[in-house]
Each structure stands twice: as C-alpha cells, then as structure tokens.
Amino acid sequence: MRWFRRARPHGAVFAAVAVVAALVTGTVIALLGALDAAADDGVRRGLATRSGADLALRATLPAAGDVEAQDAAMRAAISRALASLSTPPEVSRSAVAEAAVEVPGPLERLEALVLIDEGLQGHAELVDGRWAAGAGELTMQADAAAALALGVGDTVVVAGTPTLLTGTWQVTDALDPRWLGDERITDGRGRAAVPIVLGEVDVRALESERVHWTVAPDVTRVTAADLAAAQTGWPRLRSALRAEGVDPARLSTTGGFTDTAAELLAQVQGMRAIAPVVLLLVATAAVVTIAELARLAGASRAPELALLWSRGRSATANAVEAASLGAGAAVIGGVVGTFAAWASAAWWGRPSSVPLPTVSSTVAMLALVAAAGFWIGAARASRPHGADASGAGRASRLVAPGAAVLLTLAAATAVWQLQLYGSPITVQADGEASVDPVTAFAPALALVAIVFVGLTALPAMMRPFERLSRRSAATGMLTAHNVSRRLPRLTASIVVVGVATGTLVTAAAYQATWADGFERVSAFRSGADILATASGGGFRPQQLEVLDARPSVAAVFPLQHAQLQVRDGSAALVAAPPAALPTLVAPVREAIDADALAESLPVDAPGVVIPEGVEAVVLEADTRHLSADPVVTVLVLDSGGRLTRVTAEVSGSGDPATGRSITATSPVPASARDGHAQVLAVDVDLADDAVIADEARFVPTAWTDATGGSLTAFAERQWSPRGGEMVIVAPLPLSEGGFGAAPGVTNVRLMPDADDSAGLFRPPIAVTRSLADRYDLAIGDTFSFAVERSYARIDGEVVAIVPAVPSAGDADAVLIDLTVLQLDAVLTTEFPRAPNALWIQEAETDAAADVRRALPPNTALSYADDSAERAVVGSAALAVWGAGALCCLLALVTLAAVASAEHRARMPEIGLLRALGFRAREQASSRRGEWIAVLACAVIIGLLAGFVVGALTVPQLASAAIPGVDLGLGTPLRLDVTGLAIALAALVLVCAASVTWVSASVARDARIVRGPEGLR
C-alpha cells in the first residue's frame, strides 16, 4: 500500500510507464508471433507449389532376409534422425527389382522394373483389363505398354517365364511424393526399364531387389523450424541406422526435400534478417520513452524529493524508492501486456510461439531501464537546490549534447559497417549466414542520434523566434517565452514524437524500397509469368502441346539455360526465341526494352519455310540397294523456337536392288502452321545392314503437301548431307541432291543448300551491365565464349547492354537467340537437346496449379508474382510498420503523461495570469501555441531523421529481404508516399487530440482558479 501511496500523486507518469511496458511487451510478442506465423504460412504455400521428389526423402537398402526386422530398424532410425519435427512424417515402404523382359517387336529384349509394392493398387487405377492375380500374370504401366504396342492378352517373357499381360495401369496422382518423381512409374518414360507388377513374385528369379522407405512430411502442418530440423536431421540417418544395429554401408539416400527446405529457408532468413532491426527499433523507442518519462517524473517530484532531503532523508533512499516505483510499474505493465498478447493470439486461433525466456527478458529489460531512469531522476532532484528549475535546465543542457555526441559516434559506426557489408546478413567463417548485431543497430541508433542532435540544436533555433515575438501581442510573446523556458520539461514529448515520425518515414521507405526491389527481382528471376525448369532430360514436344491445350496458358516458349566458358571464368547463358521477349512480364519488358531486343536478336536459320496452313510435308525419293526403307524424320523449327522431330510415315514400291520409290509423309505440328516455321533438316536413318551395295543411294525427287500441291520452295533447294560429330562413316553427296551410301552408313542428315553457318557467325547478343563492366564491353564489340556441352565457340556481337537477363539467375549473363544453339546442335549432334526451361505466359491469374498438373513431377516452377515468397519476406515490411505504429502509441502515452504533469505543475501560473488580466481563451490559445510549436519542431526533426536514416540504411536492409538480389539490379531507395501520408495524418491526429485536451483543460481551470496560488 505504501508503494501505491507514493506513486499516487504522480500517477499519470507511473501509469504511462506501465502502459508503455504493456505496449512494448505485447508488441514484441505480437511481432515475433506474426513473423513466425508468416514464415510457417509462407513455407506451406511454397511447399504447395512443389511435387514429387521435392516433397520427399528416400532411404534405400538391399532387401534383407528378415523383412520385418529390417523395416522396424529403418523406421526407428528415421524417427531418431527426424525426431525434432513437430509432426511425424509419413513413411511408406516399397520394394523393386529388375528382370529381363522379352516382348514382340523390334525391341525384343528389355529390362523391367518390377514393383513389389502391396500398396500400389491404392495409388493407381486400371486403364484396361484387371490386376494380375496369380503366377504367370502381370500388369504394366499403360504408357509403357502403349509405346511397346502391347495390349491385354499379349504374352511377355519375364525372367524366362512366359507371362500374360492382364491389365494396364496408371498412378492416380503423378505428383504424389511417394513416387519421388520417377517418370518410369508416373508416365512410362524410359523403355530401358518398363514398370510391371507381377501377380506372384518369385524373388529368386529377379535381380537387385531393393527396399525403399519414402519419407513424406505433412506439408499442411510443416513449420519453418521443421525444415531446419529436416536439413540437419536427415544426414544423421546413417548414424541412427548404425545405432539400430544395421550396417549403413550400402545405404543410399535420395529425394529433394532438403534442397526444397534450403530454398524456402533462404526466404525465411531474409525475413528474419529484418526482425532484429525491428525489435531494436522497438527497444530503442521503449528505452527513450521510459527514460524521458523517468526524467519527467524526477522534474515533477523535485519539490517533494528536495523537501524529503532537507528533512534528513538521503538522496540514495529517494533514488531507491523512485527506482522501485518505476520498475514496479514496468513489471506490472509488462505482465499485463504479456497476458493480453497471449489471450489475443489464442482468440485468433494462433497460440503464441514466443518462448517464455524471450518474454521474461523483455519485461526485465523494461524494468531495468525504468529503475535506472527513475534512480537517476530522483538522485538529481534530491540534491541541494533540486527544485531550482534553472539548475535542472543547465544540467539538462549539458546532458543533451553529451548524449547526442555519444549516440552520433555509435550510429556512425553502425551505419558505416552496414554500408561496408551492404546487408545486415554476413557469412561467418564456417559458411553460416547470420545477422551482424552492429549493423542491426544502425537504423535505431541513427534515428535516435539525429533526434538528439536536433534536440540539442533546438534552444538555439528558438531564440530568434523569441526575439521576433517581442513585436507581437502579449499572447504571442508569452507563447514564445514559455516554449524557450520550458524546453527541458518538454524534452520527452519532442523525443518520442520525433522518434515516432522518423520510424514512420523509415517504414514508408522500407515498404516501397522492398516492394519495388522484390517485384523487379522476382520478375527477372522468372522472366515470364511462370518459369518451368526441368529436373533433367528437358521437356518433350508432347509436354509443350499439353500446355498449349490448357485454357489457362496463353503461350509457351522453350529456353536453354547453360553455363558459358569465358577466358577467366564463367557466366550464365539464356537462349530464348526473340518472339518470346515481348510476352515477358512488364518490369522485365520495360527494363530490357523487349521490343527492341526482339528485333535485334533474331538470326536467320538456313531452313525452308513451310507455307501457311500446310498440314503435312510429303517427300518423294528414289532409293537403290537398300534392303529396307529408311526411317525418315523431319526437324521442324517454329516461330516460337520449338525444334520438333517429326517421324514420317514411309511407304514405297519397287525392287530395292534396282530402284524403289518411297513417299515419306510428315505431319506438320500445329504450332508450325503459321507460315513462319521452317524445315531445318531431314534425317534418313538406315538399319545397320540396310546398305547391300556400294552404289546405294537416296535421292529426293519431289516435295508436296498433303493435298498433292507442289512445295516449290522445297523443290528449289538441293538437299545434301551434312557431316558433324554424329557421323561415323560419311555419306557421299550427289550432284542432284541426296546421298550415296556405302556399307556402314546409318544416319544421314540432309540440309538445304545454304550457308549453314550464317546463324553462327557473329550472332547478336545482349549482355548484362555487370558482364560488360567485367570485360569492358560496348555496343558493337565481339564477345567470344564457349557453351557447355557444345563443340562450337561463338563470337557474339554485342547489340544491347541490359540490367539483367531474365531467368539467368546470375548478374553476369548473356541473352542469345535460341536458334543459334539449335543450329549448332543440328550441325553437330544426332539428337538436339530438348529445352531445359520454359517461359509460360498466363491467360488466367490462377494458372499456376493448372501448369503444375500439366508438367512432369520434379519440375521446378518460379513465379513472377510469388505469393508464397511474398508472404514470408513481405511480413518484415509489416513488422517495420508495426514498429512505427507502436512508436505512435508511445507518443500518445507520453504526450498524455507530459501534458498531465505540465498542467499540474503550472496551475499556479494559470491563477497568476488570470490575476494579470489574461482571459481563459487567451491562456488556452497561448498554451495551444506552445504545444503546436513544440510538436511541429518534433515532427520536423523526425522527418529529417527518417529521411536520413532511410537513405543510409533502407536499401541495405531491403536487399537482405529480397532473395536473388545478387542479379545486379540493386535496390534503389523508394518512398511509399501514400502510406507515409496516412501514417503522419494519424500521428498528427494524436498530437492534435493531446493539444486540444491541454487547451481545454487550461481554459476550464482559468475560469475557476482564483489566485496565483493555483487553488480552486
């Protein structure tokens, strides 16, 4: 009770301390909880865009004799390794083996992937027939069976045993993590291992039986902490297995979940890099506010404490009592704020995840700051003449410059280090990235330092106004005089309002800078609305056609991503069809001038243009001394950059020895019927023993379309064989076109007569500004490089220098027409590489899920507008605004406390002014003018501080929260003018409410106070 009696006369100040502590504690809990929730939500949304191996891990061992013991040991080892996961993952067991298979047709002997999985039927559905039910029966993956021309009722020899094909099946969900993206199982790709299920398994007849344990975390419940636990826990599987008594020597692990976790955690790290900065802003605002309230309390209690000192009470006793009062108020407020934050989180259905030690340390810090501040204030006020306002003013004028100097030195050091590193995230000696504590202090220290510098300079700035006011009315002179005289008592208001204003400016700058940088970097990382990257093998033409058929997809363009080898290192290469550039997302189009690049980058391919509307190209040719008709394949390049191999239907008549006429009909792909596509080459593949005499020949005689109309452009060109690395025995070019073949000639590529190197001689290229600076390149210069897995060295002519190359993923990059790589491949390889990436333009805003289902498992998707990533790293911007909102609330509380203390202390002044003839309205106007002048100065100082802090620290802070900012795009400073205007308007309303209350209180008391003693 004594504690309350001591605090009651100055209850406004102690109540303000409690409210500040409650607000700060609650805000810390809310911010940390919100950031954790945002990280978890973003991680789950990110996982929802993945499939197949990206969502699973797999452990494989050779099958053991005791199946159940091996299974139990592996499951126990997995549980031990992943014990830190909040939710146990699903673990499924399956077994596979190999067996030799003989099927009717040209591919007589194959390998079969025998699936020994009792749960398969629950995850697959029959396409035809029934499931194998006993010995001598099997079912086969439907796509593989169709590729082998097998149907229900056919006989397949498996491991030497004739087996009846009773049915074909497909998995119900090719994106299910249990398949780990194995395309042999999901869509039957790879004839070398045909997926089959036997009705009765005799493992003795099979080879290499292996057991898989597939681990699939629950992506709907996984947290960011779970990703880190999986990253660190999965590598410990070997030791965990050894602890279960199993030799891990033959253990193999696969799956991409740990890689997915690393990618998503990089986004979380960007958000968490800003969390310490925000918390330090909050902590700094809290420390400054409590310190200023403590100083106000000391000034308000000065008469009381001086009286106690004069009666024999020591200054230490006064300081101890004041410290206990301040610390007690802070503890009470902190506890109330903690329970309020926990209750609010529980009510919203998101119980707080902030650990108790963090909350306890926050309350302890606030109590310690309050105790120290009130101790110092009481000790100063208890000295002789402690009630002398002029002495207190002189002391304050000495303290403020010293604090400003110290804060400026600390802020300069922190800002210098942040500028030096370019980001608050630094890489330690062990390769781990962490937030540098010095750089994290930079915004808070710089903000407070500038506010204190402005506070120190304020008295000198007020003197000219006081001199000017001498020519004004009495009310004006009184206002100016009181502002200058009472500045030390109003320091708390100036500081908290200045800090609040500066924090709002910093938040507006961070929001706009981060949003602009994130949008540009995300756009350049993907290029188009969606970037699809193959996990291996590239994309087949059929898969592009599937995407074409999706109503949510507007356009699909193939890409080749590769590494360049240059004279002193490497760079990235993006080979894309120029026609795709104008379809890229707006930030990319504007930054690289896509329309101009689309005109300057194309190269001329040496093919023959297919007339518009032609549905089939028919080649008539004469052959001689070939025992079998050749396989004819046409290489078609459409205007969208797709290079398609079209196998012709071949028919013929005549004697192979004396002469045979054949007709090869090649359907034109739908994408190549616009009048801009070309036939680059015709492949004529001969069987190993097809050439029966040295005079064997293949001579084109006519070219027509499906209706028999002549294709004049084709007929006018002479089609001759081209050499290259694919040729073992070279064919003989014939004067009339075509080729002669000797025994040993198998694969011949016919190309139209033209300079086939035209597209490879100094092709136009665009280079990034970073690469241009690295090699001192300018427009018109030649840049020479080699492409990985290519025999050619390209001497490109620089036609453009761009900020970044879309989807390159590297600041040093080159953009080139995809046709250049395709021509190089046509000239040097038998099978040109399939594109390993796609630019996909959306026709609908929700096309991502549709595209995900249309593409093979394990395809990596990147989005120009990645909502999952934005949800994670964007929460940092909201946290900065949260810090600004807290500062506004602290300003409100402080203004109320200062106004109440000031009003109580100046009650005698009100009576004196009334006795001198000042009416109530004049006194209210004077007091209102005082507060407006003080708060205006505070806002101006805060604006200046915010703009300086924004310019010095915000670009570096924003870059830490933008994954992929190393593309060379930078993070130029921006300002959210609308957001800042709204926030400042709210702060002005808070200040206006305080001023209105003060003036109303003065007017009311001026009407009833009867004398200078201030008694009513």
* 160-202 confidence digits (pLDDT tens): 888 889 999 888 888 888 888 888 888 877 545 678 787 666 6
* Per-domain residue ranges of the chain: 1-55+255-385, 56-254, 442-527+866-1015, 555-604+760-845, 608-755
Nearest to 234 by CA among 83, 94, 116: 83
C-beta of residue 250 within 8 angstroms of C-beta of residue 62? yes
What one-letter code names the amino acid at 182?
D
Looking at the predicted structure, is the pLDDT value of residue 675 above 80? Answer: yes
Nearest to 17 by CA among 281, 247, 297: 297
- For residues 55 and 774, what is the distance between their CA atoms, to the nearest angstrom? 39
DSSP reduced 3-state for 660 = strand
User: Which secondary structure element, helix H or strand E, spans residue 157, and what is its range?
Assistant: strand 155-158
If one counts every other C-beta atom within 10 angstroms of the C-beta of residue 695, the result is 12
pLDDT band per the 50, 70, 90 thresholds, residue 391? very low
Which residue blocks in 301-355 are alpha helix, DSSP H? 302-310, 315-347
Looking at the predicted structure, is the pLDDT value of residue 990 above 90? Answer: no
DSSP 832: P
Q: What are 818's two structure tokens? A: 């995809």
| Average pLDDT of the chain to the nearest whole number | 82
Looking at the predicted structure, is the pLDDT value of residue 392 above 50? Answer: no
Looking at the predicted structure, is the pLDDT value of residue 462 above 70? Answer: no
User: Which secondary structure element, helix H or strand E, spans residue 266, and what is its range?
Assistant: helix 257-300
Strand order across the 649-655 sheet: 649-655, 659-667, 616-624, 696-705, 739-741, 732-733
Sign of the C-alpha dihedral computed for residues 52, 53, 55 and 56 taken in this order: positive
DSSP 195: E
pLDDT band per the 50, 70, 90 thresholds, residue 261? confident
pLDDT in tens, 475-493: 556 566 666 666 666 777 7
Q: What pLDDT is recorded for position 317?
A: 79
Q: What pLDDT is recorded for position 389?
A: 42
Looking at the predicted structure, is the pLDDT value of residue 978 above 90? Answer: yes
Q: Which of residues 358 and 703 earns the better pLDDT score? A: 703
C-beta of residue 333 within 8 angstroms of C-beta of residue 21? yes
- For residues 770 and 776, what is the distance between their CA atoms, to the nearest angstrom? 10
837-842 and 553-566 as β-strands: parallel, antiparallel, unpaired?
Answer: antiparallel
Looking at the predicted structure, is the pLDDT value of residue 128 above 50? Answer: yes
Longest dimension (CA), the chain: 135
- Judged by phi (left if over 0) then psi (alpha if -120 to 50, else beta), residue 190 lies in left
Q: What are 524's two structure tokens? A: 């350049």
Q: What pLDDT is recorded for position 312?
A: 66
Please identify which residue in the block is written with the tokens 């993923």.
809
Rounded to 5°, the CA angle 326-329-331 comes to 110
- For residues 137 and 968, what is the distance between their CA atoms, to the nearest angstrom? 61
Q: Is 408 exposed, middle or buried (0-12, 13-18, 19+ CB in 10 A)?
A: middle
Looking at the predicted structure, is the pLDDT value of residue 508 above 50? Answer: yes
Looking at the predicted structure, is the pLDDT value of residue 725 above 60? Answer: no
Percent of the chain at pLDDT > 70 equals 85
Find the length of the chain. 1016
pLDDT in tens, 40-80: 888 888 888 788 888 899 999 988 878 888 889 999 999 99
- For residues 751 and 729, what is the distance between their CA atoms, to the nearest angstrom? 18
DSSP reduced 3-state for 202 = coil
Residues 6+ apart with CB under 8 A from 757: none
- For residues 675 and 690, what is the distance between their CA atoms, to the nearest angstrom? 36
Q: What are 226's two structure tokens? A: 């779970």
- For residues 430 and 355, what is the distance between their CA atoms, to the nearest angstrom? 28
Q: What pLDDT is recorded for position 922?
A: 72
Residues 6+ apart with CB under 8 A from 992: none
Cα dist. 916→10, 599, 913, 920, 1014 in Å? 29, 85, 5, 12, 14
764-768 and 793-802 as β-strands: parallel, antiparallel, unpaired?
Answer: parallel
Q: Which of residues 160 and 88 earns the better pLDDT score? A: 88
If one counts every other C-beta atom within 10 angstroms of the C-beta of residue 229, the result is 20
Weakest mean pLDDT among 310-324, 434-448, 520-534: 310-324
Backbone Cα Rg of the chain: 39
Cα dist. 515→256, 395, 435, 963 in Å? 30, 46, 21, 12
Mean pLDDT computed over 720-732: 67
Please identify which residue in the block is written with the tokens 């690049």.
597
Q: Which of residues 192 and 533 earns the better pLDDT score? A: 533
Q: Which of residues 536 and 123 earns the better pLDDT score? A: 123
- For residues 270 and 956, what is the distance between their CA atoms, to the nearest angstrom? 12
Nearest to 392 by CA among 491, 289, 286: 491
Nearest to 806 by CA among 765, 832, 854, 768: 768
Highest mean pLDDT among 75-79, 257-261, 470-474 belongs to 75-79
Beta bridge partners of 702: 620
Task: State the Cα torsion 320-322-326-329 to the nearest 10°.
Answer: 100
C-beta of residue 719 within 8 angstroms of C-beta of residue 752? yes
- For residues 887 and 27, what is the distance between their CA atoms, to the nearest angstrom? 11
Report how far apart the first and last C-alpha atoms of the chain are (Å, whole number): 29
pLDDT band per the 50, 70, 90 thresholds, residue 466? low
Q: What pLDDT is recorded for position 439?
A: 85
- For residues 396 and 380, what is the distance between their CA atoms, to the nearest angstrom? 11
Which residue blocks in 55-150 are alpha helix, DSSP H? 67-81, 142-147
pLDDT in tens, 878-934: 888 888 888 888 888 887 777 777 767 677 776 776 777 777 777 777 777 777 878
* Residue 659 CA to its chain's centroid (Å): 64
Looking at the predicted structure, is the pLDDT value of residue 791 above 70? Answer: no
Q: What are 606's two structure tokens? A: 């040496």
Cα dist. 921→156, 677, 1002, 1005 in Å? 106, 87, 9, 11
Please identify which residue in the block is written with the tokens 């810390």.
28
DSSP reduced 3-state for 240 = helix
Q: What pLDDT is recorded for position 96?
A: 82
Looking at the predicted structure, is the pLDDT value of residue 124 above 50? Answer: yes
Please identify which residue in the block is written with the tokens 């006018």.
716
Q: What pLDDT is recorded for position 1016?
A: 42
pLDDT in tens, 569-578: 788 999 999 9
C-beta of residue 750 within 8 angstroms of C-beta of residue 784? no
pLDDT band per the 50, 70, 90 thresholds, residue 122? confident
DSSP 936: H
Give me the CATH code for the 608-755 domain, please. 2.60.60
C-beta of residue 792 within 8 angstroms of C-beta of residue 757? no
Interior/surface letters 309-346, b for 16+ CB within 10 angstroms, e for the rest: beeeeebeebbbbbbbbbbbbbbbbbbbbbebbbeebe
pLDDT in tens, 839-854: 999 887 777 778 888 8
